[in-house]
Amino acid sequence: MPDIIINYNSDILHGTLEVLRASSLGGLVKPNMKVALKPNMVLAKPPSEGATTHSEVVEGIIIFLREKGVQNIEIIESAWVGDDTKRVYKVCGYDKLSEKYGVKLHDLKDDKIRNVKIANYTFQICEKALDTDFLINIPVLKAHCQTHLTCNLKNLKGCISDREKRNFHSLGLHKPIAYLNKAIKTHFCVIDGICGDLTFEEGGNPVTRDMLICGEDPLLLDSYCTALLGYSTDEVGYIPIAAEIGVGKLFGADTQIIELNADRKPVISAPEARGLAKRLANYINEDSACSACYSALISALHRTGYRGARVSIGQGFRNKSGGSGKLGCGSCTAGFGRYIKGCPPTAAEVAEFLRQI
């Protein structure tokens, strides 16, 4: 069986079933298993915006599992800090999916928390992510303004408490993301590469790929996907760390890949999208910023064409005074002369703040 199977198909439901039937998943699941599906429901935007997992991908997985006799299926997720998971489920069509197939939707923000110690980390992990026989990771292939890539490994961040999510940013993101994947076992991955945003994790700049990718090794898949966004594995800090601690193996010359419908493969100019967030970061003074807040600032800088003084952002500025002339973004910068309130503020609020400046 190949390490990676890729399918190019604009019919998302049919394409998902097609790629799964060519994969090893059917031989891995058993009828008596409890299976948890973990999509990327980061915020309340429809999948067409490039930030969230298409419900048709999850529907295809449910149909496939039912064909294999699996009945105990649930969907688990928590939106990023500042958004409501239940609202995200509804906006993305998961409430209808749940009703159609009798599959429960779980908001992990309401779940019980279990402390799990791995090396020097003690993670606050939602129990639903631990108390399952088989976890299927269903991320969106997209860029991230801090880690460059968000895919399988980073998608597990939705399985921890909001408090732990904030803590990840104060710890620098990369090491805790890698070690989290030692604490939570991913058994299979189905990557939604239909129209991920190649610029920001919150979407708004989708690029059509019509691509579905699956395999058993989340690290191997992530290291493969870095190249699809124009990066090397060393540029995505959590990938070499995850390899070092044995999460999986890295993509290499010996990796076996099968492509279905290769004649439909799109042409993507990823390097053009790659540099935008980096250029906009020249206007940011960042210290342990959360993704939701940082992404809102990046998006607002892009939308407004801002070219002024640097804007400070992040937990590192709590209880600090930036002086009367300093600019801040988010409640952590409340000690600054001028700042935009919110935890996190919306991109629209930040944009208005920047326009006034």
Tell me: do 179 and 287 sit in the same domain: no
Within this chain, do residues 323 and 250 fall inside the same structural domain, yes or no? no
Q: Are residues 327 and 339 in the same domain?
A: yes
**335 and 241 together in one domain:** no
Domain count, the chain: 2
SS (H, E, C) the chain: CCCEEEEECCCHHHHHHHHHHCCCHHHHCCCCCEEEEEECCCCCCCHHHCCCCCHHHHHHHHHHHHHCCCCEEEEEECCCCCCCHHHHHHHCCHHHHHHHHCCEEEEHHHCCEEEEEECCEEEEEEHHHHCCCEEEEECECEEECCCEEECHHHHHHHHECHHHHHHHHHCCCHHHHHHHHHHCCCCEEEEEECCCECCCCCCCCECCCCEEEEECCHHHHHHHHHHHCCCCHHHCCHHHHHHHCCCCCCCCCCCCEEEECHHHCCCCCHHHHHHHHHHHHHHEEECCCCHHHHHHHHHHHHHHCCCCCCEEECHHHCCCCCEEEEEEECHHHCCEEEEECCCCCCHHHHHHHHHHC
Are 224 and 311 within one domain?
no
Q: Are residues 230 and 103 in the same domain?
A: yes
* CATH number of the domain where residue 127 is located: 3.40.50.11440
Residue where one domain finishes, among candidates 242, 268, 294:
268
Looking at the structure, tell me whether residues 179 and 245 fall in a common domain: yes
- Domain hosting 317: range is 272-356
Give yes or no: residues 119 and 263 share one domain: yes
pTM of the model: 0.86
Q: What is the pLDDT of residue 25?
A: 98
Domain co-membership, 206 together with 89: yes
Query: What pLDDT shows up at residue 4?
Result: 98
Tell whether 122 and 262 lie within a shared domain: yes
Among the candidates 229, 245, 268, a domain finishes at 268
Residues 186 and 112 in one domain: yes
State which residues of the chain have pLDDT below 50. 269-274
Predicted pLDDT at 50: 94
Are 154 and 302 contained in the same domain? no
**What is the predicted pLDDT for the residue at 275?**
58
Q: Domain boundary residue among 268, 291, 306?
A: 268
Q: What is the pLDDT of residue 274?
A: 46
